[in-house]
Structure 1
Amino acid sequence: MAKVLPILLIVVCAIVGKVTAVDDWWEYGHFYQVYPRSFQDSDGDGIGDIKGITMRLPFLKSINVTGIWLSPIFKSPMKDFGYDISDFREIQPEYGTMEDFEELLARGRELDIKIILDFVPNHCSDQHEWFQRALNKSDPEHQKYKNYFIWNEGKPGRDGKKLPPSNWLSIFRGSAWEWVDDLQAFYLHQFLEEQPDLNFRNSKVVEELNEVLRFWLRKGVDGFRIDAVPFIFESKEKADGYYDDEPRSGECNDDPLASCYLNHTETKDQDETYDMLYQWRRVMEEPEFDGHTRILMAEGYTSVVNTLRYYGRIENGEIVENGTQIPFNFLLLSNTWMSTGTYGFIQNILDWVNNLPEGAQANWVLGNHDNKRIATRYKPSRTDLFNILLKTLPGVTVTYYGEEIGMTNVFVSWEDTVDPQAIRTSRESYEWFSRDPERTPYQWNSSTNAGFSSANKTWLPIAPNYTECNFALQSRQERSFLKNFRDLMFLRNNSPAMKYGGLQIVPVDTEVMVYKRSIAKDPNADIIVVILNLEGNTKTIDLNAHLDALPKEMTVAVASIHSEELVKGQTVYTSAVKVTPDVGIVLIDKKTTSPKPSFKPDSDSDHETEAEPVSAPSFVNRTKKFFRNLVKTVKKIFSKVWL
């Protein structure tokens, strides 16, 4: 055996040296968030479902998604539309059956679209068996399940009435502590009172959730997006049996019941949170799930420093213990608005890029189910501009459903509002809190209910502009948001500079920013230049005054549909590029082949057309897969020999 070891060492080193240049499936990927309730209704009840998603997978293939992240599809009373889970291993009946989900997985494999599930560990529904048994004092395992949650007998108040053990506030307003008279105790809920927090200092809870992950991994899912990461742990109970109060934030001073009234020093970002993420990464890499990388995404509205720790345990700028592959970068989402100028955008981009640990990939997010849509947030005429920004920065991108066609927020009346964050306020103020406007049904075509459903009434209203803004229409138009989106995706998948190139980004002034993607020391590689004009003035720009080593001429690869001067395929001099207001332009070195013509459907139908293949040749993909599997096999052999 001793003689075999040196040979194996050489083989492992040689193969790893080559394979490190081979991308794993998720790297530089394009992920797409599907809000199941609003994507496609297949059975006419006005609510989107799993069969509807399966039906629309060819569309998702046509825009070249790497994987889709599904907002929760698990059994739930729907108090928070799936984020209150009553059974982590069952499908919500109005979304379909387990067989429907397995069919979705199978169809996803056929089309090479990965399926990512939402994992909601911080809390469960108050209808979950665990909580029901915790409430039932006659249950023989009452105490076991009571310990799955966080309880406190509270502080003594006037007239014998108990007060909460701290001033902590729920994200959805009011105290985060709910009194249960039968148990003479409060339980913690950082969200709705119907969403009791789980106790992650209880090892049985940790193992229960680990088994939930394993259950779905065995089904064949490709990863998870972890919800509300900062809230998983809270500070420990003090020696006096209570908890430290949280200090005033200085915000929302006229609304002491609002979550923003306090600075959440005791209920967010506790050190144990990061260790929990690293443990879940170890579950993803257990031998049972070897052979195919499973990924973790992490949602956390927190500081850059905290979010970067989601990547893993970092020492001297390097990751020494793996965490999540894609900790959502919310800097642009949280810190930029319609009025933000170029310096603000560039600062937020560099704050992320310049602080990445060695070996980590950047990621970019501009929309999700909790925030205004791009077209509403930045104005509709900038839809192309911000899709260009999202798709041309280095690393992984995440697109919220409908952004590829420029869907906007929809007005939802007080009577039609269903978001718990809004209905807990008032008719006068609910619009400030409601997330319903960005969750309305997808606009597929100009037929009844935008092709989303045949029901008389949909769960949320259809956008009134659906006949002017829909997938089928934009598939037929000569220039559209959808066609630009597809061209961007072609460029991402086929230009080495878009995947591996560095980033040189500068402000021309407060209104225009430019950046270059190129591979240093490779004269044969593409050069990509992006120009974004954020304001209302036409500008003529000498790119050579701002970016290094540009060719004399370049070709327009993508141009906003509102561009009055430049269109796709046009050649321009880099010394004088004229860009009109609210327009984004992507230029490519003209010696490189520019994107193929945009996909055109065979008919007016928005169903039947399969995607035009734009990924690497199948031989290359098979070769990559062969080498990955070979490395893993050799590592296993090596480990056995070593032992």
Structure 2
Amino acid sequence: MTVVVSCYALSRLAEQKSTWWKDAVVYQIFVSSFKDTNGDGYGDLRGVIEKLEYMIDLGINIVWLSPIFDSPMYDMGYDTADYYRINPIFGDMEDFDNLLEQAHQRGLRIILDIALNHTSSEHVWFKRSVKAAKGGDEYFKDFYIWGDPIVDEDRNRRPPSNWESVFEGCMWEWVPEIQKYYLHVFGRAQPDVNWENPNLRNELWKVLRFWLDKGVDGFRLDAINCMSKVRNQDLCAQRPGKPTVSGWPDAPISTPNRFEQKANEMFANGPRIHEYLKEMHQQVFARYDALSLGEMSCGITPELGQDFIARDPNEQQLDLILHFEHVELDCVDGDKWVLRDWELPELKAAVSKWQTCMAEAGGWDTIWIENHDQPRGASRFCKDAERGQLNAAKLLAIWLFTLQGTVIIFQGQELGMTNPEEFSEEMIRDIETRIYWDVAHADLALGGGDHKLEMAKKAITSKGRDASRIPIPWNSNHETSGGFTDNSAKPWLPIHPHFATLCAEAQRRNPASVWTFYRDMIRLRRQHPGLIYGTYQLVDEHHPSVFAYTRIHGGNFYLIVLNFGREYVEWEVPQAHGRGWVPIKLTSDYEPLGLEVTKLRLGPYDGVICKRESCKAANGDSESDIV
């Protein structure tokens, strides 16, 4: 039965939906690495239940769980084999229902990470799609993206296009039994579903409704801007009068002398993306008080981002988007494995663009610096901190909790966890990193030179996804597990070499720890709504080591000054921003709280939040004159 919802009804539903996620703090849990309760070396749902009070004590509102659906774990759960079943590694549906109940009793909301761009090749849909090509159930025939081979005059077979997979190699995989290719943006065991098929979309809506009806509070939608691909027909439509050609266009040549070419503009942000997201909102999210958080990499700019968070209920697509510009400054042409040094003004420009554009569009930003796909923030943004990572981690906490948007922290971030300092092949479990490492070895065999292998080791240590997936150290009692699992079990990844000092148990007892600082910053943010809702303006944009900005809300003025440099710096409050600034939060005790400051002496990775309640300004200016 088809349910028709009028535009008026959707509008009324939208008005009734709250925005509880705006001032929330989200805690992302990578379940495999969080807490193991059954001794198999992998975290599980009972481990999450065990640590709910930990999250309450920290001040968390929303828990984001990495994929928990049944999966062969080719890509750690981002390859779903059954959307309606819990992965046995993590527990069962009874465990999940218990987690949901226990979380809701404590006032915590639960959102699930779900990949709707692709499934596992072990999913029944994919198996039936292959069978349909041989005369099976037609319903599943076009659930995936199939392409015919291109045969040249010498009868050589090649894929339908030259697109390169995100995980290296060709994006098309040959299936001999049906003489067709299927498309996979990511790994070869992760075939992309065909969003052009309305039956497929309806099946996805059923999946989302199933979990929302159970009481789930929303979804983080993995790679959601990849589900609309460019076909030749789309290019023909842009050239009136030209004959329509079927099939798939080749990506421009960016790497000569090789077949596969980077194809972000072909598989991301495609021609029907807004249509699909509007339909998803109208068919699913508009009917629930649930959060839609869309992951959008591959070239999303602030201007493009505005289109996804329209406030008009008839045009709305997503509540929030995860964008990547600020964490791609150390990449070359989008290649994460090619490292570059970035300058602080680049970071300030990227952050400021998003802060401004989201506010102008009536949208809401997401504030984050690390996750399951990204290295640890302290290692990326505060390299070689002379005063140690303790101060660097606190600096990043001030930065996160004083920007406008929903703050998302990744498990262990509140402990100041860093990337491992040394390369280890034991740390290469992630499929993307394994493929890159294998390619580096193949290049060496072809005479690439040892220096290229050393460059690969450095890149993996800096950017490999397993760096942030190291199990959480809960205590210092177990030499091999740090309390993540019992002492007789081997964690699926080695624990952090500094687990004894990083562990949660020790930090919760220490008033000067990173954990305590994060807890206090969460409390401070809630005590000062201006740090959540205030307007943002960058100050001193060209300074090479100081990131300073103001937040203004009602009659309250805030000035945040952060030294991202490795040297001491003296920074004078610009006259245009008035006087009467009083520090209310510091990373260290270099300045006394409660005393007015006009000049700050900031140590390496020091930060300060200052507040001015009055409109007292330099040279007698009025409040309206102060920017």
Indicate how the Cα distance of structure 1 residues 475 and 324 shifts in structure 2: closer, same or farther if over 3 A, else same. Answer: same
Q: How high is the TM-score relative to the length of structure 2?
A: 0.82
Structure-2 separation of matches of 1:98 and 1:273: 33
The corresponding residue for 1:382 is 392
Structure-1 separation of matches of 2:179 and 2:341: 51
Q: Per-residue displacement from partner, 1:476-518 (whole Å, max 9, x unpaired)?
A: 2231111111111001112121222222321273222322223
Q: Per-residue displacement from partner, 1:61-111 (whole Å, max 9, x unpaired)?
A: 112112011110000011111011000111000100111111111111111
Structure-2 separation of matches of 1:240 and 1:510: 52
Structure-2 separation of matches of 1:547 and 1:485: 31
Out of 508, 511, 519, the position equivalent to 1:486 is: 519
Amino acid at match of 2:596: Y
Write out aligned runs for 1:105-120 (5 A): 105-120=100-115
Structure 1, unpaired ranges of 5+: 1-11, 592-643
Write out aligned runs for 1:179-218 (5 A): 179-218=174-213
Indicate how the Cα distance of structure 1 residues 369 and 68 shifts in structure 2: closer, same or farther if over 3 A, else same. Answer: same
Indicate how the Cα distance of structure 1 residues 341 and 236 shifts in structure 2: closer, same or farther if over 3 A, else same. Answer: closer
- Contact 1:151–1:187 at 8 Å: present in 2 too? yes
Q: How high is the TM-score relative to the length of structure 1?
A: 0.80
Structure-1 separation of matches of 2:575 and 2:429: 49
Amino acid at match of 1:444: W
Amino acid at match of 1:370: D
Indicate how the Cα distance of structure 1 residues 50 and 153 shifts in structure 2: closer, same or farther if over 3 A, else same. Answer: same
1:418 and 2:420 correspond: no
Structure 2, unpaired ranges of 5+: 1-10, 234-243, 332-339, 384-388, 442-452, 615-627
1:518 and 2:513 correspond: no
Write out aligned runs for 1:359-508 (5 A): 359-378=362-381, 379=383, 380=389, 381-410=391-420, 411=422, 413-425=424-436, 426=438, 427=441, 428=453, 429=456, 432=459, 434-448=464-478, 449-454=481-486, 455-507=488-540
Structure-1 separation of matches of 2:533 and 2:227: 35
Structure-2 separation of matches of 1:249 and 1:390: 36
The corresponding residue for 1:282 is 282
Out of 124, 135, 143, the position equivalent to 1:129 is: 124
Amino acid at match of 2:318: T
Amino acid at match of 1:58: E
- Contact 1:47–1:94 at 8 Å: present in 2 too? yes
Structure-2 separation of matches of 1:207 and 1:547: 56
SS at match of 2:128: helix
Structure-2 separation of matches of 1:72 and 1:547: 49
Structure-2 separation of matches of 1:96 and 1:55: 14
SS at match of 1:271: coil
SS at match of 2:19: coil
Indicate how the Cα distance of structure 1 residues 137 and 346 shifts in structure 2: closer, same or farther if over 3 A, else same. Answer: closer
Structure-2 separation of matches of 1:343 and 1:390: 17
SS at match of 2:265: coil
Indicate how the Cα distance of structure 1 residues 473 and 161 shifts in structure 2: closer, same or farther if over 3 A, else same. Answer: same
1:241 deviates by 4.1
Structure-2 separation of matches of 1:119 and 1:377: 27
1:257 deviates by 7.3
Out of 295, 319, 328, the position equivalent to 1:325 is: 319
Q: Per-residue displacement from partner, 1:444-487 (whole Å, max 9, x unpaired)?
A: 11121111111431101101110111211111223111111111
Amino acid at match of 1:273: I
The corresponding residue for 1:637 is none
Amino acid at match of 2:324: F
Structure-1 separation of matches of 2:105 and 2:610: 34
The corresponding residue for 2:336 is none
Structure-1 separation of matches of 2:423 and 2:223: 26
Structure-2 separation of matches of 1:29 and 1:474: 23
Indicate how the Cα distance of structure 1 residues 200 and 23 shifts in structure 2: closer, same or farther if over 3 A, else same. Answer: closer
Q: CA RMSD in A?
A: 2.7
The corresponding residue for 2:85 is 90
Write out aligned runs for 1:301-380 (5 A): 301=297, 302-304=299-301, 305-312=303-310, 321-335=315-329, 340-356=342-358, 357-378=360-381, 379=383, 380=389
1:240 deviates by 4.8
SS at match of 1:371: coil
The corresponding residue for 1:299 is 295
Moved more, 185-194 or 74-83: 185-194
Q: Per-residue displacement from partner, 1:374-393 (whole Å, max 9, x unpaired)?
A: 12112334211112111101
Moved more, 276-285 or 165-174: 276-285
Q: Per-residue displacement from partner, 1:272-318 (whole Å, max 9, x unpaired)?
A: 1122122222234454x3xxx20101111122133332213x8xxx7
Amino acid at match of 1:343: P
1:162 deviates by 2.4
1:529 deviates by 2.3
Indicate how the Cα distance of structure 1 residues 582 and 546 shifts in structure 2: closer, same or farther if over 3 A, else same. Answer: farther
Indicate how the Cα distance of structure 1 residues 257 and 385 shifts in structure 2: closer, same or farther if over 3 A, else same. Answer: farther
- Contact 1:86–1:128 at 8 Å: present in 2 too? yes
The corresponding residue for 2:621 is none
- Contact 1:136–1:142 at 8 Å: present in 2 too? yes
The corresponding residue for 1:5 is none
Indicate how the Cα distance of structure 1 residues 237 and 271 shifts in structure 2: closer, same or farther if over 3 A, else same. Answer: closer
Structure-1 separation of matches of 2:575 and 2:96: 51
Give the share of equivalent positions with the same residue, in percent.
Answer: 28
Structure-2 separation of matches of 1:453 and 1:28: 34
1:248 and 2:242 correspond: no
Structure-2 separation of matches of 1:243 and 1:138: 20
Out of 154, 160, 169, the position equivalent to 2:164 is: 169
- Contact 1:385–1:532 at 8 Å: present in 2 too? yes
Moved more, 23-32 or 35-44: 23-32
- Contact 2:368–2:407 at 8 Å: present in 1 too? yes
Q: Would you say how many aligned residue pairs link Structure 1 and Structure 2?
A: 551
- Contact 2:402–2:532 at 8 Å: present in 1 too? no
Out of 560, 569, 582, the position equivalent to 1:530 is: 560
The corresponding residue for 1:572 is 595
Indicate how the Cα distance of structure 1 residues 564 and 495 shifts in structure 2: closer, same or farther if over 3 A, else same. Answer: closer
Indicate how the Cα distance of structure 1 residues 109 and 231 shifts in structure 2: closer, same or farther if over 3 A, else same. Answer: same
